[in-house]
Chains A and B, each alone.
Chain A
């Protein structure tokens, strides 16, 4: 009897976690796969089996192309602004010269991370407002009035205006991750480099970057997977990806298919596409982690 409990013990510990995972992650996932073969909406008490119809519509749906393009735009811009600029910001703040002011700026840059994204989007909708917006008025003030435009009302500027908001919000988070990584770099390395006559720039490229390499991998993948799931910004700022579908993302398209156009089955099919993309990214992430450890 005692032996049985002994062997059972670890499983009992794992049970709550496993139950949680199963109920909240795996069960909905399986259900979503099943749903994608049905046609139904939020109102209908019955569902009709349609086989692969939803996936056939998927191939014809031109909005997916726009949505994926926007997601990729998100990914590229986020990597440039969050990872690279975040890395540079972290390096500057960690430098001895800024020792005194660094804590203040760390807080300043990190502040947007703790503000709710809905609040940020509302604030930015005032900034982008075509008439009373801060941005247009600022441009006029410095003599660049010709650049002023209805930022969220044009298909050429709306996607980028939306992406810019995420950059402003998330850069602080990535920066903090880099700061943590940099604080772990042994000071001897910098001292040795300095004795050898390396400039600050040389030290950054030859000491800092190789030492935070793994963190660069991690942050790149966080931002890329995050880009595939963007929802709040276009949903609030451009009212679901407008004008037309110009700033739509996959997540918004899925949500609207299900809850606005009443096609739950099709939305489930879209969810599978998003799942497939993020799953592939996760596999790549695992692979890269491995290569990072081998060094």
Chain B
């Protein structure tokens, strides 16, 4: 009898083991949980305020309107988001609705074949679709199919403190060389770090590099090099561009590699630093912290530069639907990207959206409206560098940028490492 019991117990253990394995699958299909609610897994990249609260409110609003829906939300900031979404895609556990950057980032996700082609959303609901800027769809279109719904639009420019510039008689620089002159002058006037960036955030470096490359290099060379099949990164202008980046980091001081972008932004918003390269999405955050009289200028062109001097770096971000997303996830997506909620989003966060009629004088500050105008009028938009090239190339430039800032590598060293990465990719 005892022996019999032991066998039963062993079998029970084995069964419980397999049950453990099985339960995750049940979680996946997810829909038939308690009270037969439809569960939507929502993953976004804004755990910081005010966006986190904004999305939490949108979620509870949607759940109130649709009592049969339960939305599970998960949020992770920028760089970790990029890693986590990769893990989720690899693990077959893709959320039903999630945020995505445009271009190569989106293309990578699409290449997994686990994302829904959302063309039908635009065709089925013409009224909703008519509010979304057609110009922003291109960044999510691959093989003539749209895989993402653009939500925010953005651009990058130097934010400067008008009061400090006025006080020291500094003009908005017309060229990069002018800009260095202004920084030098500010340094002599007692600003230890006339320019700042949180260089410990790799993406912040990529934004600099992307714009500098665009300004300095011939667009044809960039087209060839940004394509992983043909990229070589051998043109000597890259050295010029990397050295320009190094020159800028010299004005950021020792602290730059030890702080993150948010700390750097706070320094600017508190009036400690006169200039910083920032996204228009950050206008409200700067406005909320301090009383700096904010001005913008585009990244100044290089005297010898071969790229379009008025192109704007910046790209939309949007939402994607996982292959197994239920009908309710589509509804939720349309709910977020509706005119009313986009309006609310701009009002609460100050961020600009790709929804027509959402950015108005009543929802956005004067600074934001100015930025909106710059984005809409840009002669050309250039995607974020880490979305424009293969990630290993971007990584070599970003880490190299950090090493250059602390004087551990030269522009030549960095480019050599990039060339090695490019050679590996060409194979």
Using a CB–CB distance below 8 Å, which chain A residues touch chain B? 5-6, 9, 12-13, 15-16, 19-20, 41-45, 57, 60, 62, 128-131, 149-155, 238-240, 242-246, 256, 259-264
Given that A130-B254, A153-B257, A244-B402 are known contacts, is A19 also in contact with B87, CB under 8 Å in the complex?
no
Given that A130-B254, A152-B200, A154-B406 are known contacts, is A242 also in contact with B86, CB under 8 Å in the complex?
no
CA distance A239 to B399 in the complex (A): 11
Interface of A is mostly: loop
Interface of B is mostly: helix
> Mask for B215-245, Cβ within 8 A of A = 1, else 0?
0000000000000000000000000000000
Least distance between A162 CB and chain B CB atoms (Å) = 12
Using a CB–CB distance below 8 Å, which chain B residues touch chain A? 3, 6-7, 10, 13-14, 17, 79, 82-83, 86-87, 89-90, 108-109, 111-113, 199-202, 254-260, 263, 390-392, 395, 399-400, 402-403, 405-406, 408-409, 417, 420, 424
Q: Check A16 against B14 for contact (C-beta < 8 Å).
A: yes
Given that A44-B111, A243-B200, A259-B87 are known contacts, is A15 also in contact with B14, CB under 8 Å in the complex?
yes
Q: Check A244 against B17 for contact (C-beta < 8 Å).
A: no
Q: Check A245 against B391 for contact (C-beta < 8 Å).
A: no
CA distance A283 to B263 in the complex (A): 47
Q: Check B7 against A244 for contact (C-beta < 8 Å).
A: no
What are 26 A-B pairs at a CB distance below 8 A?
Answer: A5-B3, A13-B10, A42-B86, A44-B111, A44-B112, A129-B263, A131-B255, A149-B254, A150-B258, A152-B258, A153-B255, A155-B406, A239-B201, A242-B200, A243-B200, A243-B405, A243-B406, A244-B406, A245-B403, A246-B406, A260-B391, A261-B392, A262-B108, A262-B390, A262-B392, A264-B90
Total number of A-B contacts with CB less than 8 angstroms? 130
Given A42-B89, A155-B406, 9 further pairs, Cβ under 8 A: A43-B86, A45-B113, A151-B258, A239-B79, A240-B202, A243-B199, A243-B258, A246-B408, A262-B390
Name, among A16, A153, A239, the residue most crowded by chain B CB atoms within 10 Å (CB to CB). A153
Given that A9-B6, A12-B10, A239-B200 are known contacts, is A153 also in contact with B79, CB under 8 Å in the complex?
no
CA distance A173 to B263 in the complex (A): 35
Contact pick for A259, options B86, B202, B259, CB 8 Å:
B86
Least distance between B229 CB and chain A CB atoms (Å) = 15
Cβ contacts under 8 Å, B201 to chain A:
239
Q: Check A45 against B257 for contact (C-beta < 8 Å).
A: no
Q: Check A43 against B10 for contact (C-beta < 8 Å).
A: no
CA distance A69 to B6 in the complex (A): 52
Q: Check B82 against A260 for contact (C-beta < 8 Å).
A: yes
Cβ contacts under 8 Å, B259 to chain A:
129-131, 150, 153
Cβ contacts under 8 Å, A15 to chain B:
10, 14
Q: Check B392 against A244 for contact (C-beta < 8 Å).
A: no
Least distance between B270 CB and chain A CB atoms (Å) = 11
Q: Check A150 against B14 for contact (C-beta < 8 Å).
A: no
